[in-house]
Chain A
């Protein structure tokens, strides 16, 4: 059961990665990296249950935050040409 979930998440990560590498516009890449981040959260959660050590969930919590902050920083950069804005 966890194996099926893990395979699903890994396949999704692969597809997001392909889109990040090939995406014609820069926004395709940002979208793919954001999706990759949320799939990493699921990966860590399922991995914790798969290996019988659910203490890893703190890690998944951090990834949600970091993924969001990274996406916002990248968008500010693309929009304004610099990271800090008025």
Chain B
């Protein structure tokens, strides 16, 4: 039965992918990209990779769609028509795809327990993690403790992406003069948005509370820093959508936001340095407390907090930058 579900989902995915490439209306394609991400998240769930599905849904179907739309408002909505089909590109794509498919004939079967990838480190982590780290969710223990360097690198990448976006799309001060002339608050529009505002007053605290739950529940179930950060950012984006960008900027001043972006990464690296000062190696959490597993728990808590803060503030500041930009 699971195979039928799998094949149905993959068929949907192919259908959506073909539609995305064939449509020229860019608005429709960005909405369909959100559907594609939802389907991918379903497929990940069928494959039992729940943490990945979590992140894929939150980022792909939520934040990505919003950012695509913010970009579309600055550019055109129709794809430029192609004058003639590009046969050389088609040949290259077919050759590469054919070579890749030929390469998969030599790979081990999907889920084969004798495959080399399941032989060396995987069983070791699975055997050792309950006693060494004591956290029920093994994805978190591998992500945060055994492969802590990688996660530090990922957080640094997110930080760098935010820096790049801020450098390129910095909010210009000249906008204040323009906005005084253009944007008189539209009373009718505000009245029409009343239902949304009332509902969001009730709903946004629930979203933020759920984000906190996901952050701290990452040790026991699917969740963790990345997913919680995205949910937080989604709550703030909802507030900004309903009440306007200016009010959102008043609530979370951009200076505080930029400070928090750096704070998250510093918290992560600082935990590593703290364990260095306490007679351990860099990012060796067992040095942080008397008992080894207690130290691991403290370390994982702190770095997940760092990751969550960084991801939330990065997503929010990217959204503020994208949507604060005027079409020149």
Contact = CB atoms under 8 A, between A and B. Distances in A.
Interface of A: 3, 6, 10, 13-14, 17, 20-21, 26, 29-30, 33, 36-37, 40, 43-44, 47, 50-51, 53, 55-56, 58-59, 61-63, 65-70, 72-74, 76-78, 81-86
A43 B185 contact: no
Interface of B: 1-2, 5, 8, 12, 15-16, 19, 27-28, 31-32, 34-35, 38, 41-42, 45-46, 48, 50, 53-54, 57-58, 61-62, 65-66, 69-70, 72-73, 183-186, 189, 196, 203, 207, 210, 214, 217, 221-223, 227, 231, 234, 237-238, 240-242, 244-245, 322-324, 327
A35 to B, nearest CB: 11
Contact of B72 (A69, A77, A85): A77
Given A37-B61, A65-B62, A76-B241, 8 more contacts: A17-B16, A33-B35, A40-B38, A55-B50, A56-B50, A59-B50, A73-B65, A84-B240
A66 B61 CA distance: 7
B42 A40 contact: yes
A70 B34 contact: yes
Provide the main secondary structure of the chain A interface: helix
Contacts of B324: 84
A17 B5 contact: no
A62 B323 contact: no
Contacts of A66: 57-58, 61-62, 234
Contact of B73 (A10, A17, A59, A77): A77
B321 to A, nearest CB: 11
Contact of B5 (A10, A14, A30, A72): A10
A16 to B, nearest CB: 9
A7 to B, nearest CB: 9
A17 B221 contact: no
29 contacts: A10-B5, A20-B31, A20-B32, A21-B19, A26-B27, A30-B31, A37-B38, A37-B61, A40-B38, A47-B5, A47-B46, A51-B48, A58-B214, A58-B223, A62-B54, A62-B214, A65-B231, A66-B234, A69-B66, A69-B241, A70-B65, A72-B196, A72-B238, A73-B237, A83-B70, A84-B244, A85-B244, A86-B183, A86-B189
Contact of A82 (B53, B61, B70, B231): B70
